[in-house]
Amino acid sequence: MSTLWIKIASGVIGILIIIVLVSMFMPSGEPEPAPTFTERVEEDKENFLVPPEQPDEPNQSLSTPVEIQPEQETPRVNETTIYVKVLNDIEQLEADKEINYAVPMLSIGRLPVTSYKPMIDAARRIINRWPDSIYAYKAKQMLAELPESERQKNTITSQELDISMFSKPRTGTVPYKVPIEDR
């Protein structure tokens, strides 16, 4: 009779060992938490708002001593060059106004019981008015971010999503570096 209890105890221990081993090698059942609305808003601002042009740095005179800084490792950012038309100051202000309206509307469109329609309208205005600008490039990226159901509902065409024209130099365009998203 004592051998029966030893067999039962060894079977229970064996089952416990198997359960522990399986739980160690199984992926955790917790998926990555979805980004919060605030995190998505900040991500949209980074991705779609056009940074202001950086002014040229003033030249330092030779009489001013220059401190030598140790070389720091700069993080490598994947960039690509696109070719865009430079807008005059008034056009740039108007385009800034439109893109600064469209980006929050993209974020708001993700909320329940809201619509992407205001963002889509603003993006279409940008694409129609300044088709070769960096603003049109960003507007097309925003339209590409939309879910497929929204694209179909709002009849977004393939021309509105096509950014291939920006990859080649054209008359009146200048090179512009943009980061590439890792997806």
**In the prediction, which pLDDT does 92 show?**
92
User: In 3D, which of 120, 114, 76 has the Cα closest to residue 102?
Assistant: 120
Ranges of residues in the chain with a pLDDT under 70 are 1, 27-29, 51-77, 181-183
Q: What is the pLDDT of residues 33-47, one digit of tens each?
A: 888 888 888 888 888
Q: Which residue blocks in 2-133 are alpha helix, DSSP H?
A: 2-25, 37-48, 89-109, 117-129
**The model scores a pTM over 0.75:** no
**In the prediction, which pLDDT does 91 show?**
92
Question: What's the DSSP call for residue 16?
Answer: H
CA-based R_g, the chain, Å: 27
**In the prediction, which pLDDT does 28 show?**
65
